Amino acid sequence: MNFWQKLSNKKKPFFVLAPMADVTDAVFRQVVIKTGKPDVFYTEFTSVDGLCSNIGRRRLIKNLRFSKNEKPIVAQFFGTKPENFYVCAKLAKKLGFDGIDINMGCPDKKVERQGAGAKLILNPKLAREIIEATKRGAGALPVSVKTRIGFNEVITVKWIKEIIKAKPDAVIVHGRTRKELSLVPADWREIGKAAKIVKKAGIIAIGNGDVYSLDDGKNKAKKYGLDGIMIGRGIFQNPWIFNPKINLKDVEPNVRIKLAIYHIKLFKRFWKDTRNYDNLKKFYKIYISGWPACASRPSAKSLRTKLMNTSNIAEALSILTSA
């Protein structure tokens, strides 16, 4: 029994933090552990082609670093070469990951130009070959697939039936097509259709899209027959989203400011000069929001504006520590 199955037997639904490029790195995962840990973490997606080259591996291997307190954690890979997925699956096993996920949903144009990510929806034969090669390399580690309900049009039933021919251990379905990006609401009826097919094959079914609270996730899981719920953008609205004991409205500004400072210092220590400081700016709205000005503190909006105009970590820390 793999960890997905054990988790499903123990808790239904379980909750997963979605993999997001330049967001769910080892630093942010530690922040989330402080606010409220999900049942499963994912790494950012990493190129199998890059990991299979000497220069690329030296640059990308840090993306696969994690701490014991993040487990269970899944390594997510993207690419088009089955042989490279095989190699990277063996690497993930060696590094101690709990599972491996294949990205078949990313809409990034650079990824799609390779035929990877969501583009694999148009190439089911290659998609199956990639799953099979990954499983061979993974050994006992479970292999999952994160995908969408179609590329230019909704083809949920047809596409999911193709995926499960390769017998992945879990399937995560985002309820939009590649063409829709995030411009329309997630279609949970289509996710429900996928779940029926997946579960009939004895595979773990996970839904993803527009979930902004644990209660909403629980309701959707029950309604659409899902084992788990994956939350992505919801973490930007509420960094305590996985913590049932904390109401965001009750979190004081000083707590949010301290969390931002913790993130920035950890970012500096972990990445040093290998990631651009501007990458941090996407996080400021997570922490610095939701309070008006008062006699002792500026409003969240004015403080956030100051932070967005900074050019380095020292400037940001100076502003936050004096707020």
Per annotation, catalytic residue among 52, 88, 106, 294: 106
Instruction: Let me know: does 177 contact 150? Beta carbons within 8 Å.
Output: yes
- Please tell me the distance from the alpha carbon of residue 111 to that of residue 105, in angstroms, as a whole number: 10
- Please tell me the distance from the alpha carbon of residue 214 to that of residue 229, in angstroms, as a whole number: 9
Instruction: Give me the torsion for CA of 286, 287, 293, 294, rounded to 10°.
Output: 150
> What is the distance in angstroms between the CA of the first residue and the CA of the last residue of the chain?
50
- Please tell me the distance from the alpha carbon of residue 319 to that of residue 163, in angstroms, as a whole number: 50
CA 178 to chain centroid: 17
CA 81 to chain centroid: 22
Number of helices (H) and strands (E) in the chain: give both, helices first: 15, 9
What are the backbone dihedrals phi and psi of residue 75, each rounded to the nearest 5 degrees, phi first?
Answer: -85, 125
**CB-neighbour burial class of residue 167 (10 A; exposed 0-12, middle 13-18, buried 19+):** middle
**Closest alpha carbon to 150 in 161, 141, 159, 162:** 159
Active site includes 106?
A: yes
| Matching residue, tokens 């996920």 | 101
User: Residue 149 has what DSSP assignment?
Assistant: S
**Closest alpha carbon to 107 in 122, 86, 126, 92:** 122
Rg (CA), the chain: 20
CA distances from 146 to 42, 208, 312, 313 (A): 11, 9, 35, 34
Catalytic residues: 106
